Each structure stands twice: as C-alpha cells, then as structure tokens.
Amino acid sequence: MATILVADDNRANREALAALLETAGHRVLSAADGSEALERAREHRPELVISDVLMPEMDGYELARRLQLDPATAATAVLFYTAYFGTREAKDLALAHGVARVLVKPSDNDAILAAVEEVLSSRAGPRVVSSGLDREHLRVMVDQLLDKTGALEAQQRRVQRLNRTLAMLSAVNALIVRGSEQQALLEEACRIAVEKGGFRLAAVGLLEPVSGAMAPAAAAGEGSAERDLARLKPGARAVIWNDAESGSFVALPLIVGGATAGVLLLYARVRDFFDEEEMRLLQELAGDVSFALHHLEQKARMDYLAYHDSLTDLPNRSLFIDRIGQALSAARREKRFAAAVFLDVERFRMVNETFGRKAGDELLRQVGARLREAAREEDTVARIGADHFAIAVAGFDHPGETTHWLIERLGAAFARPFLVDGVELVVMLKAGIAVFPTDGESTEALCAHAESALKHAKDGAQRYLFYAPEMNARVAEALAMENRLRRAIDDGLLSLHYQPKIDVQSGALAGLEALIRWNDPELGAVPPAKFVSLMEETGMILAAGNWALRRAAADMRRWQAAGLEVPRISVNISAIQLRQKDFVDSVLQAIAGLGRRPLLDLEITESVLVDDIEESTRKLQTLRRAGIEVSVDDFGTGYCSLGYLARLPVDTLKIDRSFVVRMGEAGTPRNIVAMIVSLAHTLGLKVIAEGVEHDAQVRLLRSLGCDQIQGFYVSQPVPADKVESLLGPGAQDSLQRRMAAA
Ligand code: C2E
Ligand code: MG
Ligand code: MG
C-alpha cells in the first residue's frame, strides 16, 4: 500500500483514478493543479504523484521539477497521465524532468495499475534534473498547447455543427407536432433546415406515381435543387455527393408506408460535411418528416371518410350542414337567397327488399350521380341518410326562378328510368324546400323547415313542397301555366300579331314587328310579359321562337303571293335562342323560302348581345350576309358600351319605350333620346322609337331626327288577317296624312 497523489484539473478524471487506486489498496490524495499538488506533496510525502501535464497555475513539468528541487519531496516518483503526449520530444522532456513513466489517456485500468506498481517498485533515490531545460520545456509546452487548442477547436466546431443539426431536428419535430397541411409542413421544414441547420439550400421532391419522377415540392435557401431532383433515382438509401467547388449535399429518402415517397435534399457549403454523426441525426430528421407525411396522408383520408358517404362519394350530413352554413353566410353578406332542399327516394325500401341490397346500393349511387348532374356546380349535393339526399343551393337572386329551374332539372333527371342489374327502375323523388331568409335565417331553422316540407310532400300528392305556402302557390301556378303553355304550342293556340313601323318624315310604312300572342280558351289572351319568361325558363322558347320565325316567313309569303307590297318584318329573338349552337342554321332554315332578299329581321335585346360579344358577333355576321337585318331592342336599358356597340354587326337601335314615355319632360330623358339618335347616326345605324302614343312625341322625335316610330299612335299590334288592310293603299294614305298633320 502506498500514498499516491493525483493531480488533474478535471475532477472526473481525478475521481476515476482515485477510485481505481483505492480499490487496489492505496491511500489517495488529490489536487486540482500543480501548485496545490506541490503543497500537498510537501505535507503528506506521497510515494507517487500521478499528474496531468496541462493544468492551470502550474503544469506537470513544473510540478515534477519543483518536487525534485525540494529535498523533502525529491524522492517522490512522478508519473504523467496525459492525453496530449504525441511527440518523442515531449517524452524526452518528461524523462529529463525525472518523470518515471508517461501513460497516455485513456488507458485501461490494468495498464494504469501495472504502471503504478512498476514505478513504485523501481523507485530509486533522488533524480538529477539536468540544467538548461527551461527553454526546451517552453518550446514543447507551446507545441503541445497548440496541438491541444487545434484539437479542441475542431471538437468545438463539430459540437457546434451537431448542435445546429440538433436544433434543426427539434424545430422540425416541433413543427410536426403542431401539425399542418402537407405543403406548409414541407416548406417550413426546408426553411428551418436553412435557418437553424445552416444549410445553403434545402429542398423536398415528391415522387410522382405515374411518371416515377421526383417533382419539386418545396425549397428554401440559395439556388435550386431542381436539376439534382431531375436526375435522382428514387432509392431507399441516403446518398452523399462531394463537390470540390460547391461543397456537398445529401439526398435523404422519405419513406412512407414502406415505399420511397420523396427525397429531402440538404446542401452544405463545405466538402465532407456529412460525417457519420451528422448523418445519424439527418436520417432521424428524414424519418420524422416521413412520419409526418404518412400521418398527414392518413389524416386526409380520415377527414375525407369522416365527411363523405363512401357509397355515393357525396358529402355526408356533417359536411352538408357545414356547407349550408357557408351558403347562408355568403347569402347574408351578399344579400341574396339560398335554399335547403331535402329529398327522399320514394319506395326505396321496396327496391331493397325486392332486388336485394346490392341493387339498392347501386340505385343510390346512380341517384346521387343524377342529383349531382341536376344541381349547379356551386351547389352541394349530399347523402344525409339511407335514402335521403339534400342539396344546399348557394346564392341566387330570383327565388321563384331558381327553385323552379331546379325542380325542372330534378324532374328531367328522374324522368328516365334507372338501369340496375339489367332491370329498369322508375324512381320518384319527393322534395321539401326551404328558402333563406324567408323560411329561416339559421342553418338549423332552414334544415328543420325543409325537412318538415318534405314530410308534407311525402304525406300528400305533390312531389315538391316549399315550406312557405305562398311559394307553393307561385310554383304551382308556374307549373300549371307551363302545362297549359306546352299544350298551347302543341294545339296551335299561339299566334302572331303585327305592329307597323312608320317613317317619321314621309309617314310611309317602313316595317312590321311580329309579336307573339297566346289565346287560352280559359285564361283568354295571356300577355307575353307573363309567358315569354316562363318559356325561357323551361326551354319552351326554343320551339316557340322557331315557330314564330316560320310563322312570320309563311305570312310574308302569303301576302306577297296575294300581290301586296310587304315591308320588312322583324321577329323577336330570345337570349336562349341566340345562345344555341344551331341558332344560325335554324334561322336560315326558317327563311329558306323567302328568296335572296328575305326582308326578315331580328330584334335582340341589348343586354343579351353584350353577354358573349364574340360569339354573338360571329353569329350575327353570318345572318347579315344572308340579307337579314338586326335591331337592338329596348336600347338604353342594357349596358352596351360605345365600344361594344361600334363592333356589333347591327343595323338599327330601338329606343326603349321608357325613354319615349318620359321624353315630354324636359331635361335628362329628352337628352338621352337626342343622344341615342345622334349616336346611332354617327355609327351609321337607323333609329326607331318604341311606344309612341302622342302627337307631341311624334313632333319631338321628328325634330330630333329619329328615323322611324312604332306605337299605339300608329296602331296597336294587329292579328295577321288585319295586316292586309294595313298594307292596302287606303291605309297608307290616311297614315301619311295623319303624320303630316302631327
Ligand atoms: P318588345 O319587343 O319591346 O315589343 C314591344 C312591346 O311594346 C309589345 O308588347 C307591344 O305591344 C308594346 N307596345 C307597342 N307600342 C306600344 C305603345 O304605344 N304603348 C305601350 N304601352 N306598349 C306598346 P308585347 O306584345 O306585350 O310584347 C312584350 C315583349 O315580349 C316584347 O317586347 C318582346 O320582348 C317579347 N316578345 C313578344 N313576342 C316575342 C317573340 O315572338 N319571341 C320573343 N322571344 N319575345 C317576344
Ligand atoms: Mg321587339
Ligand atoms: Mg322593345
């Protein structure tokens, strides 16, 4: 057993050594630096001092030298235990200082104990310290210190770098925990890699399943990874590149569900950046990002499943409630209407029981698809129960028209039978409709009222019921009208009346306008204002408009055959007609028998022309080449800009009656009429005033230079058989006299 003094500035080192020596049966003292060791050695006279070399205050060499110089401690053996003892010179220096042995840190326990035993047993008398060692000592010390500083700095850099990577890893993990949408997550992860990880550039590419290519998904930092992404082959292992100029980069695969889903690219500014330790952390990072991708994908699927009906792929009740809520907020903000329509497939249970569940499921799928077709793009069709569907009808301006339109579309969609398992099934729908805000201001109220309307519809004979009774009355009236009108077209109850247009200067008959009339046996003469828009809503206008064109052409031919001098005849055309692809053809067909100069004109409302100016222009040009003239009807009520007007292929402006009526008042209305007249003439167009009833209006229009007038002043619209009297020479004379007197 010996007394041994351990000198080391590192406490952990001291304690480890002390424990080892104590277990071996020695008495151990310790000191934190050279000067403390010297003091304790003088006091306790240990047989052996085990000393570190680099220590504050006094290093190991100095300690060894002083121990030897002092007779009291000259016999103490010294053993250096040090990590920085590379050079031969350092060893020589130690021996020259009387150091018995140099052990390199770390050594294993057996080696340490063996060295201690050896030194203790061979302890000789006091050693001699050679002189002239001081300078040599200094030089070796400086070398060693430089060595140590270099190693420490390298270590520090490594630690810093790993710390940066760790900081990045934890920031990305925090980001993942917060959870967000995939794109945001990837972009944020790249940003963190650049800001916290110190990478020059970070990018993510995602594998495109079809092409198998890596498509750029997110990036942050300097430069672009797109070229590298393009040439990357999706693999399962990380790949490192080192480049003499640009540094190094690593491609870390992102593995989702066992397959490579993408790649994370990290670019460092230096070569050989990606060592083993760094890679361990980065693999972890890639693993975490992969996990997040997987999680988000699953969440998206779960969300979809939570809000959709898996059978029909339509939104389910929860999503429907959400959507109708959104539709109501939008309608409230924009001061528009919205509606909830609840639908029930009639006798669905019977289908299920008769044809089996599979057939029932198939029918529901098809019902869902047809509802989707019937609704508008902006509406939400949902399946809210076994055989219950619902439609959230988003913002609209005319509740009557829109709901009527929807009912029509639903009717048409279910008119065709469904083909299920080779069997044709006719399916009836019952619907309950509640309109916002009149039938309810909140989602709950609106849905409850739509449901109660549906219940009434199911109990009664009607297929569609509104919650508000007056809506039912209005729709019922429209439906009844529609049926009558349909019959009227089939039974030939429509007719044309003609109203003359007169030349303001000469009083000569300049043209006739054909106006449609409906004489219902029960309702009597129904004004066009009441049924033309209904025909437009239901599409009946196509048949009726075509009929009007052919009727006018036939009348004209008849009058010509009777030897009458027939002026130009104009026919009104609806927006719906104009929008048809075959519009031009159907007009040309209608006038086919009228020869090369057909004398047939079209009147089209101003607002319709500007709707789709390119398309309208093309169609009208073709017709004008065939000799047809075009009038802009109700001019002044639409929003036709001067630019549009100049481009439109038209011949005549018809000043709307509302301006003519108020023309007597001085000021704006009169100025407007004056302006329209001069505008028309500037553009080389004719101008007609509609709804002229009084002498005064005739005089004013004449003075303003208006070309023609039309109105009760000249004549009411008259039936076809009365036109002959208008065309006769007697009628012309009396008209001209009246005009001259005006
Ligand atoms: P519009 O083309 O502007 O026709 C002029 C309307 O003013 C006609 O009404 C005519 O009877 C009326 N009117 C003419 N002179 C006077 C007058 O001095 N005083 C008053 N108060 N009214 C006068 P009508 O026949 O009821 O037609 C209304 C609208 O229905 C027409 O306006 C036209 O837009 C549309 N319409 C008529 N027939 C057809 C048709 O065959 N096809 C299409 N698509 N629309 C038609
Ligand atoms: Mg007209
Ligand atoms: Mg008009």
409-432 per-position pLDDT tens digit: 898 888 888 998 888 888 889 999
Ligand at shortest distance from the CA of 575: 1
Instruction: Please tell me the number of the ligand nearest to residue 654's CA.
Output: 3
Q: Residue 657: which CATH number?
A: 3.20.20.450
Which amino acid residue places its CA nearest to atom 10 of ligand 1? Answer: 717
Q: Which of 305, 339, 356 is the last residue of a domain?
A: 305
- Residue 525 covered by a domain: no
**What is the C-alpha separation between 534 and 141, in angstroms, rounded?**
107
Tell me what pLDDT residue 1 has. 84
What span, in angstroms and rounded, lies between the C-alpha atoms of 721 and 735? 19
* Residue 506 clears pLDDT 80, i.e. is over it: yes
Please give the structure tokens belonging to residue 116.
Answer: 């201690």
Q: How much distance in Å is there from the Cα of 491 to the middle of ligand 3? A: 28
My answer on whether 599 and 684 are in the same domain is: yes
How many whole angstroms from 515 Cα to the centroid of ligand 2?
7
- Do both 700 and 552 map to the same domain? yes
Task: Tell me, in angstroms, the distance from the centre of ligand 3 to residue 690's CA.
Answer: 6
pLDDT at residue 558 above 90? yes
Tell me the CATH number at 434: 3.30.70.270
User: Is 659 domain-assigned?
Assistant: yes
pLDDT tens-digit series, residues 27-54: 999 999 899 999 999 999 999 999 998 8
State the distance from the centre of ligand 1 to the C-alpha of 593, rounded, in angstroms. 26
Domain that holds residue 375: 310-467
The SS3 assignment for 256 reads: strand
In a domain, 26, yes or no: yes
Compute how many other C-beta atoms are within 10 angstroms of the C-beta atom of residue 419: 12
Q: What is the pLDDT of residues 55-101, one digit of tens each?
A: 877 888 889 888 988 888 888 999 998 876 666 667 777 777 788 88
* Surface-to-core class of residue 374, CB atoms within 10 Å of its CB (0-12 exposed, 13-18 middle, 19+ buried): buried
What confidence score (pLDDT) does residue 711 get?
A: 96
- At residue 82, the pLDDT reads 84
- Look at 89-98, 175-184, 362-371, 497-506 and tell me which has the smallest mean pLDDT: 89-98
User: Is 629 part of a structural domain of the chain?
Assistant: yes
Same domain, yes or no: 275 and 336: no
Position in ligand 1 atom list of the atom nearest CA 574: 44
Which ligand is the nearest neighbour of the Cα of 712? 1
**Which residue's CA lies nearest to atom 12 of ligand 1?**
691
Place of tokens 């998904």: 217
Neighbours of 568 (CB within 10 A): 19
- By three-state DSSP, how is residue 9 classified? coil
Domain endpoint, select from 253, 284, 305: 305
The reported pLDDT for the residue numbered 655 is 94
Average pLDDT on 553-570 reads 93
Tell me: the pLDDT tens digits for 115-167? 999 988 886 554 555 555 566 666 676 666 667 667 777 777 888 888 888 88
Q: Which of 255, 280, 305 is at the close of a domain?
A: 305
514 alpha carbon, closest ligand: 1
Tell me how far apart the alpha carbons of residues 413 and 423 are, in angstroms, rounded to a whole number.
18
User: How far from 495 is each of 491, 498, 602, CA to CA, in Å?
Assistant: 11, 10, 18
C-alpha of residue 477 to centroid of ligand 2, in Å? 27
Amino acid letter, 522:
E
Structural domain contains residue 472: no
**CB-count exposure of residue 665 (10 Å: 0-12, 13-18, 19+):** exposed
Helix, strand, coil shares, percent, the chain, to 5: 50, 20, 25
Atom of ligand 1 nearest to the CA of 548: 41
CA-nearest residue, atom 43 of ligand 1: 572
Q: Same domain, yes or no, for 357 and 414?
A: yes
Q: Which whole-number Å values give the CA distances from 298 to 47, 155, 176, 677, 730, in the listed order?
A: 72, 43, 14, 69, 88
Dig out the tokens for 607 from the structure: 């607002």
CATH of the domain at 43: 3.40.50.2300
Q: Are both 361 and 406 inside the same structural domain? A: yes
What secondary structure, in 3-state letters, does 453-500 show? HHHHHHHCCCCEEECCHHHHHHHHHHHHHHHHHHHHHHHCCEEEEEEE
Indicate whether 610 and 708 sit together in one domain.
Answer: yes
Take atom 8 of ligand 1 and give the residue whose Cα is closest: 515
In a domain, 353, yes or no: yes
Q: What is the distance, to the nearest Å, from the Cα of residue 532 to the centroid of all Cα atoms in its chain? A: 40
pLDDT higher at 418 or 644: 418
- For residue 403, the Cα-to-chain-centroid distance in whole angstroms is 29
160 half-sphere exposure, CB direction, 13 A CA radius: 7
Does pLDDT of 514 surpass 90? Answer: yes
Position 304 scores a pLDDT of 82
**Residue 226 scores a pLDDT above 70:** yes
In a domain, 146, yes or no: no
If asked whether residues 604 and 734 sit together in one domain, one would say yes
**What is the C-alpha separation between 603 and 593, in angstroms, rounded?**
20
Q: What is the pLDDT of residue 246?
A: 74
Pocket test for ligand 1, best of 497, 499, 572 (most atoms within 8 A of CB): 572
Residue-wise pLDDT for 101-129, tens only, equals: 888 888 889 999 999 999 888 865 545 55
Residue 178 to residues 175, 189, 292, 576: CA-CA distances in angstroms? 5, 12, 10, 54
Which tokens is 695 given?
């002498």
The whole-number pLDDT of residue 132 equals 52
- Do residues 322 and 452 both lie within one domain? yes
Tokens of 646: 């100049």
Task: State how many domains the chain has.
Answer: 4
Distance from Cα 673 to the centre of ligand 3, integer Å: 15
Mean pLDDT of 688-705: 94
Asked if residue 195 has pLDDT above 80, the reply is yes
Q: How far is the CA of 630 from the centre of ligand 3 (A)?
A: 13
Pull the structure tokens for residue 688: 């007609």
- Claim to verify: residue 445 and residue 337 sit in the same structural domain: yes
* Res 638 pLDDT > 80: no
What pLDDT shows up at residue 22?
Answer: 93
Q: Which residue has the higher pLDDT, 155 or 270?
A: 270
Look at residue 609 in the predicted model and tell me its pLDDT: 75
CB-based contacts of 175, cutoff 8 Å, min separation 6: 185, 188, 189, 192
Nearest CA owner, ligand 1 atom 11: 717
Q: Which of 488, 477, 555 is nearest to 518 (CA)?
A: 488
Residues 293 and 327 in one domain: no
Sorted by sequence, the CB contacts under 8 Å of residue 653 that are 6+ apart come out as 631, 632, 635, 676, 679, 680, 685, 686, 687, 688
Which residues, at least 6 apart from 411, have a Cβ–Cβ distance to it below 8 Å?
Answer: 463
Q: In sequence order, which residues have a C-beta less than 8 Å from that of residue 85 and are 6 or more positions away?
A: 53, 91, 94, 102, 104, 144
Closest CA to 374 of 358, 394, 391, 357: 391
| Average pLDDT value for the chain | 87
Q: 108 and 178 share a domain? A: no
Residue 596 has, within 13 A of its CA and on its CB side, a CA count of 0
Same domain, 432 and 321: yes
Long-range Cβ pairs for the range 553-561 (8 Å, 24+) = 553/590, 553/591, 553/593, 553/594, 553/598, 553/600, 555/496, 555/498, 555/514, 555/720, 555/723, 556/594, 556/599, 556/600, 557/593, 557/594, 559/723, 559/724, 559/727
Of ligand 1's atoms, which has the minimum distance to the CA of residue 571?
A: 41
CATH of the domain at 210: 3.30.450.40
What residue ranges line ligand 1, CB within 6 angstroms?
499, 515-516, 527-529, 532, 545, 548, 572-574, 603, 633-634, 690-693, 711-712, 717
State how far Cα 469 lies from the chain centre. Answer: 40
At 444-488, the pLDDT tens digits run 999 999 999 999 888 888 888 899 877 777 677 777 778 888 888
The whole-number average pLDDT for the span 559-585 is 92
Q: What percent of the chain has pLDDT over 70?
A: 94
3-state secondary structure string across 598-631: CCEEEEEEHHHHHHCHHHHHHHHHHHHHCCCEEE
Burial class of residue 334, CB neighbours in 10 A (0-12, 13-18, 19+): exposed
CA distances to 174, 216, 401, 461, 670 from 219, rounded to whole Å, are 19, 8, 51, 63, 66
Q: Quote the pLDDT of residue 134.
A: 64
Average the pLDDT over 184-210 and give the result.
92
Nearest ligand for residue 637 CA: 3
- Select the highest-mean-pLDDT range: 210-214, 247-251, 513-517: 513-517
Does the residue 104 lie in any domain?
yes
Quick: pLDDT tens for 284-297: 899 989 988 888 88
**Which tokens hold the place of 61?**
């060499």
Q: What per-residue confidence (pLDDT) applies to 218?
A: 94
For strand 600-605 and strand 568-573, is the pairing parallel, antiparallel, or unpaired?
Answer: parallel
Alpha-helical regions (H) of 122-132: none
Residue 135: per-residue pLDDT: 61
Q: Indicate the length of the chain as a whole number.
A: 742
Task: Indicate the SS3 state at residue 169.
Answer: helix
Q: How far apart are CA 711 and CA 689, in angstroms?
A: 8
Residue 640: the pLDDT is 67
